[in-house]
Amino acid sequence: MEYVKLGKTEERVSRVGLGAWQFSDAWGLTDYERAKEVIRKAYELGITLIDTAMVYGAGMSERFIGQALRDLQIKRDEMFIVTKIPGEYLNRDDVFRAVRGSLSRLQSDHIDALLAHWPPAWHNYPTCEYAKAFEALVRMGKVRYIGLSNFPIALVEEFRSCLAKHDIEIFEIRYNIVERKAEEEHIPYAEANGITVLAWSPLAQGAVLGKYRPEDVSKLQDVRRGNPLFRPENYNQILKLVEAMKEIAEKRGKTLSQVALNFIMMASPVVVPIPGAKSPQQVEENAGAAGWSLTYEEWSRLDEISRSLRISYVTIPD
């Protein structure tokens, strides 16, 4: 496994992380023993960053991670845990209360990185209120680093202006070979300001893996059923990209997930994908995205096809 510097710190994290949203009803991995084996394989392969959130499985994801680290006798400082606090919890008192709960579920005395999961648009909490609460948690030793997930750059700037001493070290944003809006603002901003980008949904929830025929998509029973990427007008376009990815994967002796992850890793050295995994085999496959690179010609071919896609998120019938 390769390792990269986290933000402006001296911390080193694995080039590929492990997303843990799948430890929830949304994705169906609710068996602790299966989850533990996923975490075991990640540890064995040198994956040191696990990304979770307070709302994943209503706390199930955090509980599974905390218990697995204990049962597997993994030292706390060997794993870098990122968790996220939802927008509706971002009033000052709830920030501290939510973090207490998170620490308990993780069975830890600290969180490596605490991210605001999304802006508090429905509750209109002042930005400086939760920014200062985050910074207080760093001063108290309960949080080591802070960051933002799914925030527009204008609000990022406002959040940073509220901080007295510390700065954000992580952006977490949707980014994959199909959905590349992050390249317009967030990734350039991160590069200019020493911020690591954790790419969530780096495999587009599996849409770029070509596992399903168009007629099978409607049978999906998990969170993907409502994902616009799987709508016929979008998915049929994506399958053209998948065909090109297959050719490259076969030529290079790689898998589709490894090609898709390597593509976004090549986009910028600050990008760290955090794919989820439901089995140790999937963890091993995802980890194999590190340690090699697409050629310029391969990357350019995929880039051209990707940019030609016209993905629509409109789901209301015309």
85-113 tens-digit pLDDT = 999 999 999 999 999 999 999 999 999 99
Task: State how far the Cα of 257 lies from the Cα of 181, in Å rounded to an integer.
Answer: 20
Q: Give the pLDDT confidence score for residue 303 in this predicted structure.
A: 97
Q: Is 193 left (phi over 0), alpha (psi -120 to 50) or beta?
A: alpha
Q: Specify the pTM.
A: 0.93
Q: Give the pLDDT confidence score for residue 220 in this predicted structure.
A: 66
Q: Give the pLDDT confidence score for residue 155 in this predicted structure.
A: 97
Average pLDDT over residues 286-315: 95
Q: Give the pLDDT confidence score for residue 316 in this predicted structure.
A: 79
Return mean pLDDT, the chain. Answer: 94
Radius of gyration (Cα) for the chain, nearest Å? 19
CA distances from 162 to 77, 157, 158, 249, 280 (A): 30, 9, 7, 46, 42
252-262 tens-digit pLDDT = 999 999 999 99
Of 25-29, 48-52, 109-113, 245-249, the least confident: 25-29
Q: Give the pLDDT confidence score for residue 219 in this predicted structure.
A: 66
Give the pLDDT band (50/70/90) at residue 247: very high
205-215 tens-digit pLDDT = 888 998 777 66
Task: State how far the Cα of 160 lies from the Cα of 59, in Å rounded to an integer.
Answer: 28
Average pLDDT over residues 60-76: 96
Enumerate residues 6+ apart whose C-beta is below 8 A from 194.
Answer: 7, 8, 169
Fold of 3-204+257-291: TIM Barrel (3.20.20)
3-state secondary structure of 93: helix
171-182 tens-digit pLDDT = 999 999 999 999
More confident residue, 64 or 229: 64
Show me where the domains of the chain are located. Answer: 3-204+257-291
Q: Give the pLDDT confidence score for residue 318 in this predicted structure.
A: 67
